[in-house]
């Protein structure tokens, strides 16, 4: 009887513990879509289920694709979070892998077509971050103030920072 009871408890334990996903999120458990024309950043789970949408702002009122360093435009394309860290000015920072090979290709083509100067640089250090302390109003007022990054309210970047792991896909589109 004791053996049957312990076997039943072991079976019950294994059934319960193996039916739940690990509390540690993997890079493929979520993805983020940033829609510049709507000033929105939406978090989805791996199945494409909407989880939450945050308001965001960018660098320039011109919501076109980033062309070169210093243009204050936010790049468009598919990126991944490469690092996560607290930031002394903007609360938290989720660095993106901009520029990607696709970005380099667009950059080279634009130089060849004369769209940007031959002396232009591609830029970098693009990410998702909070605002200056006590300046969340910039997001409420759609004030595009960054150098090309995506900015949201500090409470929202803190939620996102805790939720998504390094490696999470980030799609930025117009």
Q: What is the pTM of this model?
A: 0.84
Taking 70 as the pLDDT cut, the residues of the chain under it are 1-24
Residue ranges and CATH numbers for the domains of the chain are 27-173 (2.40.440.10)
User: Residue 166 has what DSSP assignment?
Assistant: T
Encode 88-119: b = buried (16+ Cβ within 10 Å), e = exposed.
Answer: eebbbbbbbbbbeeebeebbeebbeeeebeee
For the segment 92-103, what is each residue's pLDDT rounded down to a tens digit? 999 999 999 999
End-to-end Cα, the chain, rounded Å? 66
Question: What's the rounded Cα separation, in Å, for the pair 95 and 164?
Answer: 12
For the segment 6-41, what is each residue's pLDDT rounded down to a tens digit? 333 333 333 333 322 335 678 789 999 999 999 999
């Amino acid at each position: 009887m004791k053996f049957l009871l312990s076997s039943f408890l072991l079976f019950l334990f294994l059934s319960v513990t193996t039916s739940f996903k690990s509390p540690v999120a993997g890079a493929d458990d979520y993805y983020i879509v940033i829609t510049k024309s709507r000033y929105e950043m939406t978090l989805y789970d791996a199945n494409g289920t909407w989880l939450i949408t945050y308001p965001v702002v960018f660098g320039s009122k011109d919501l076109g694709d980033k062309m070169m360093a210093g243009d204050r435009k936010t790049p468009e394309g598919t990126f991944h979070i490469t690092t996560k860290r607290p930031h002394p000015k903007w609360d938290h920072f989720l660095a993106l892998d901009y520029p990607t090979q696709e970005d380099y290709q667009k950059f080279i083509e634009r130089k060849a077509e004369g769209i940007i100067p031959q002396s232009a640089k591609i830029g970098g250090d693009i990410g998702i971050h909070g605002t200056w302390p006590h300046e969340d109003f910039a997001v409420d007022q759609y004030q595009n103030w960054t150098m090309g990054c995506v900015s949201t309210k500090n409470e929202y970047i803190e939620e996102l920072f805790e939720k998504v792991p390094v490696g999470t896909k980030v799609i930025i589109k117009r």
